[in-house]
Amino acid sequence: MTFNDIFKSSFLENVTSVSLLDMVVAMGLAFAVGVFIFLVYKKTYAGVMYSSTFGVTLIALSMITAFVILAVTSNVVLSLGMVGALSIVRFRAAIKEPLDIAFLFWSLAVGIVLAAGLIPLAVFGSIFIGVVILIFANRRENTSPYIVVINCDGSESEKAALEFLKGRTKKCVVKSKTLRKGLTEMNLEIRLAEDNTEFVNELADMQGIESAVLVSYNGDYMG
């Protein structure tokens, strides 16, 4: 055995299995497209509380997936081991917005496609997806929905409140109704004809109305 045989191993041979140019191009493009995904996410986010860490995660996912796929494509044995290693990973982070799932899969797909060498598909596909999300995610209803919570003391005041709201709003639908002894509580979804909430003051001053609360509502609803 010679001195060179001591340092000869399959591990050292794998060092040059992926060229430096391939690594630089794949990681650089993964970072650039990841930043583009992050900007689209930041522009289209419509949740309650924006998380900057999730945006950074999208960039990191693109780059991490790219270098993992580069390693897998250079070694068949490594690809089998990678499948086994990743199969035991469990993620417990809750996804608060349904659109966030699309951004996660988008970042993963970009890393896979770039590492596979399909650069035009990754770039133009990401641009097309970004434009589609920007167009549809930024569409908003002309009239924002509101929830009105009314406490009244009987059926007569209940009917009067409903007639009043139907006359002052574009849409008025009863969502729930709770009856207690001597008190009725109603939750109604309304759409305003114009951006004016002064009618709530008039509603609260009506005879038989104990209280009236107006709440902005931007969750899922049946329309």
Token digits of residue 105: 């899969």
Question: Are 53 and 41 a contacting pair, CB within 8 Å?
Answer: no
Domains of the chain plus CATH, in order, are 3-137 (no CATH), 145-216 (3.30.70.1150)
Q: What is the pLDDT of residue 204?
A: 83
Identity of the amino acid at 15: V
Report DSSP state, residue 215.
E
Question: Are 28 and 114 a contacting pair, CB within 8 Å?
Answer: no
| Long-range contacts of 176-185, Cβ-Cβ distance < 8 Å, separation of 24 or more | 182/153, 182/154, 183/151, 183/152, 183/153, 183/210, 184/151, 184/152, 184/153, 184/154, 184/155, 184/158, 185/149, 185/150, 185/151
Highest mean pLDDT among 95-99, 129-133, 212-216: 129-133
**String of b and e for 75-91 (b: at least 16 CB within 10 Å)?**
eeeeeeeeeeeeeeeee
Instruction: Identify the burial level of 31 via C-beta atoms within 10 angstroms of its C-beta, where 0-12 means exposed, 13-18 middle and 19 or more buried.
Output: middle
Q: Decide if pLDDT at 87 tops 70.
A: no
Token digits of residue 54: 């999730």
CA atoms within 13 Å, Cβ hemisphere of 100: 16
User: Per residue in 115-166, pLDDT tens?
Assistant: 888 889 988 999 999 999 888 876 655 556 788 888 888 788 888 888 888 8
- Please give the model's pTM, rounded to 2 decimal places: 0.60
Question: Are 170 and 193 a contacting pair, CB within 8 Å?
Answer: yes
Q: What is the pLDDT of residue 38?
A: 92
Within 10 angstroms of residue 119's Cβ, the number of other Cβ atoms is 14
User: Per residue in 176-188, pLDDT tens?
Assistant: 888 887 788 888 8
Question: Are 104 and 91 a contacting pair, CB within 8 Å?
Answer: no
Element (H, E) at 150: strand 145-152
